[in-house]
Amino acid sequence: MDMMLWNILLTVTLALIGWWGQNIWKETQRLSILLNRTREEVAKEYVTKAEVHHDINRVIDRMEQLDHKIDRLIEGMKK
């Protein structure tokens, strides 16, 4: 009787551990999928370094053009 009780207890314990492990595995897979989706969404919303450098260079070029125009305007006023 003692051995039968031990087998039942051991079987129930292992079944619960297996069920818990399976749920943990499913949750880990779910979180992995959500993390990958989040990474994709972040990539859509933020710009890359190359895009930032390109935009900044355009602004700097435009500012230099305006600087040259102002210089020509000031030189024209001095004459």
Using one digit for the tens of pLDDT, what is the confidence trace for 15-73?
999 999 999 999 999 999 999 988 888 777 788 899 999 999 999 999 999 999 999 99
Output the pLDDT for position 43.
73
Output the pLDDT for position 38.
87
What lies within 8 Å, CB to CB, of 55 at 6+ separation is: 47
CA-CA-CA-CA dihedral for 42, 45, 51, 55, to nearest 10: -150
Separation of alpha carbons 12 and 72, rounded Å: 90
Q: Give the chain's domain count.
A: 2
Pair 21, 38 in one domain: yes
Pair 37, 4 in one domain: yes
Joined together, the tokens standing for residue 39 give 């990474």
Backbone angles phi, psi at 48, to 5 degrees: -90, 170
Pair 74, 39 in one domain: no
Pair 36, 72 in one domain: no
- Stretch 9-15: mean pLDDT: 93
By residue range, what is the domain housing residue 73?
47-79
Output the pLDDT for position 78.
82
For residue 58, the surrounding DSSP H or E stretch is helix 49-78
Pair 40, 51 in one domain: no
